[in-house]
Structure 1
Amino acid sequence: MHFTTEIDGSTARITVHGEIDYDTLPLLRDAAAGLPASVTDLVWDLEHARFMDVAGLHLLFEEQSPEGPVRRTTVTNLAPQPLRLLMLATEVRPGLELTRLFPDTPTALLDD
């Protein structure tokens, strides 16, 4: 697994290439934690992450550190398997807010 990071103003895009699992989770957390404080929006681009296990849920839904900057986290370009995992997670824990991760997606599409 490897990733690329692009920063454009206050937005950072981290594009993951490979699987997201417990082996790769610390590296991805470190990438997000290492972003400049001026970054207020973090976009996880998962187009090339064809597999994600529960570690990906921890990455996307974990609470932000009180010492770090507040960042709006979103996800784009989900492959079918990671998307299905997110949908299953909301079936098990209905309180998970997918609308936070997909702010531009109509809620009706997420409820199907």
Structure 2
Amino acid sequence: MHFTTRIDGSTARITVHGEIDYDTLPLLRAAATALPPSVTELVWDLEHARFMDVAGLHLLFEQPSPDGPPRRTTVTNLAPQPLRLLILATEVKPGLEFTRLLPDTPASLLDD
């Protein structure tokens, strides 16, 4: 697994290439933590992450560090398996409100 980070103004896009699991979670957390304080929006681009286990849920839903700046987190380009995992997670724990993560996902995909 590797990733690329692109910062454009106050938005950072981290593009993940490979699986998101407990082996890769520390590296991805470190990438998000290393972003400058001026970044107020973090976009996880998962187009090339075809598999995500529960570690991905931790990555996307954990609260930011109280010492760090507040950031809006979104996800784009979800493959079918990670999307199904997010849907399943909200069925188990409805309070997750995962739709805030998916601003560019058509509602028809979320209803399946």
Number of residue-to-residue matches in the alignment? 112
1:27-78 residue CA offsets vs partner (Å, 9 max, x unmatched): 0000000000000000000000000000000000001111000000000000
- Normalized against structure 2, the TM-score is what? 0.94
CA distance in 1, matches of 2:40, 2:105: 20
- One-letter code aligned to 1:110: L
* Aligned-partner SS, 1:95: helix
Cα contact 2:76–2:104 (8 A) shared by 1: no
* Aligned-partner SS, 1:4: strand
Match of 2:52 in 1: 52
Distance 1:19 1:109, change over 3 A: closer
Match of 1:7 in 2: 7
CA distance in 1, matches of 2:29, 2:49: 15
Q: Unpaired segments of 5 or more residues in structure 2?
A: none
Match of 1:71 in 2: 71
CA distance in 1, matches of 2:49, 2:38: 27
**RMSD of aligned residue pairs (Cα, Å):** 1.4
Instruction: State the shift of 1:102 in Å.
Output: 1.4
Runs of 4+ in 1 over 4 A off after TM superposition: 104-109
- One-letter code aligned to 1:50: R
Q: Unpaired segments of 5 or more residues in structure 1?
A: none
